[in-house]
Structure 1
Amino acid sequence: MTRVDLRDIDVIAPNFKVRLSGVTSTIIQLVPVQRRLGQRIAVIGPGLPAHLPHASALDLWRLWQATAHGAPRVWHARRNLEMLAGIVLRDLLRMKLALVFTSASQRVHTGWTKFLISRMDGVIAVSGRTAAYLKVPNRTILHGIDTTRFSPAPDKEAARAALGLPNGRFMVGCFGRVRHQKGTDLFVDSMLALLPTRPDWIAIVAGRATGKHLGFEAELKNRVAAAGLSERILFVGEHTNIPDWYRALDLFVAPQRWEGFGLTPLEAMATAVPVVASDVGAFPELIVTGEQETGSIIARNDLAAMIAKTGAWMDDETRRIEAASRALVHTRENFSIEGEAGALGEVYAAAAAGDPIT
Structure 2
Amino acid sequence: MNIREIEIIAPHFKRRLSGVTTTVVQLAPKQVEAGVKLATLGPGLPATMPRIGFLDLLACWKRPASGRKRIWHARRNNEMLAGLVLRDILRMPMLLLFTSAAQRRHSRYTKWLISKMDAVVATSARSGSYLDVPHTVIMHGVDTDVFRPVRADDADPAPALDGRLIIGCTGRVRAQKGTDLFVDAMIALLPHYPAWTAVIAGRVTSEHEGFAADLRARIDRAGLKDRIRFIGEVDDIKPWYRRFQLFVAPSRNEGFGLTPLEAMASGAPAVTSDAGAYAEMIVPGRTGLVVAAGDGEALKHAIEPYLADPERARRHGEYAARHVRETFAIANEVEGLNGVYARLFLKSSP
On whether the aligned pair clears a TM of 0.5, the verdict is: yes
Name the structure 2 match of 1:263. 258
The answer to whether the aligner puts 1:46 opposite 2:39 as a matched pair is no
The answer to whether the aligner puts 1:345 opposite 2:342 as a matched pair is no
Residue pairs, 1:277-356, within 5 angstroms:
277-290=272-285, 293-354=286-347
Q: Which runs of 5+ in 2 are unaligned?
A: none
- Give me the whole-angstrom Cα distance separating, in 2, the residues matched to 1:189 and 1:179: 14
Further displaced range: 52-61 or 298-307:
52-61
Residue deviations 1:236-283, cap 9 Å, x none?
Answer: 111112111111111111111111111111011001101110110000
SS in 2 for 1:7: coil
The answer to whether the aligner puts 1:103 opposite 2:96 as a matched pair is no
Residue pairs, 1:1-358, within 5 angstroms:
4-155=1-152, 159-160=155-156, 162-166=157-161, 169-290=164-285, 293-354=286-347
- Give me the whole-angstrom Cα distance separating, in 2, the residues matched to 1:98 and 1:155: 48
CA contact (8 A) 2:5 2:66 kept: no
SS in 2 for 1:13: strand
- Give me the whole-angstrom Cα distance separating, in 2, the residues matched to 1:248 and 1:24: 25
Q: CA deviation at 1:164?
A: 2.3
CA contact (8 A) 2:10 2:39 kept: yes
- Give me the whole-angstrom Cα distance separating, in 2, the residues matched to 1:278 and 1:180: 13
CA contact (8 A) 2:266 2:321 kept: yes
Q: CA deviation at 1:167?
A: 7.5
Q: CA deviation at 1:94?
A: 2.1
* Percent identical: 51
Residue deviations 1:287-318, cap 9 Å, x none?
Answer: 1114xx20000111111111111111211233
- Give me the whole-angstrom Cα distance separating, in 1, the residues matched to 2:45 and 2:147: 22
- Give me the whole-angstrom Cα distance separating, in 2, the residues matched to 1:75 and 1:184: 36
Q: CA deviation at 1:183?
A: 0.7
Q: CA deviation at 1:71?
A: 1.3
RMSD of equivalent CA atoms: 1.7
CA contact (8 A) 1:159 1:248 kept: no
Q: CA deviation at 1:181?
A: 0.9
- Give me the whole-angstrom Cα distance separating, in 1, the residues matched to 2:56 and 2:12: 16
SS in 2 for 1:202: strand
- Give me the whole-angstrom Cα distance separating, in 1, the residues matched to 2:178 and 2:82: 36
CA contact (8 A) 1:172 1:251 kept: yes
SS in 2 for 1:54: coil
Q: Which amino acid aligns with 2:298?
A: A
Structure 1 residues 180 and 97: alpha-carbon distance in aligned structure 2, compared to 1, 3 A threshold? same
Q: Which amino acid aligns with 2:246?
A: L
CA contact (8 A) 2:7 2:38 kept: yes
Residue deviations 1:313-343, cap 9 Å, x none?
Answer: 2112332222111101111111122221222
- Give me the whole-angstrom Cα distance separating, in 2, the residues matched to 1:112 and 1:254: 31
SS in 1 for 2:177: coil
Residue deviations 1:215-235, cap 9 Å, x none?
Answer: 111111111111111111111
Q: Which runs of 5+ in 1 are unaligned?
A: none
Further displaced range: 4-13 or 338-347:
338-347
- Give me the whole-angstrom Cα distance separating, in 2, the residues matched to 1:345 and 1:330: 23
- Give me the whole-angstrom Cα distance separating, in 1, the residues matched to 2:245 and 2:43: 39
- Give me the whole-angstrom Cα distance separating, in 2, the residues matched to 1:165 and 1:199: 15
Q: CA deviation at 1:114?
A: 1.2
SS in 1 for 2:210: helix
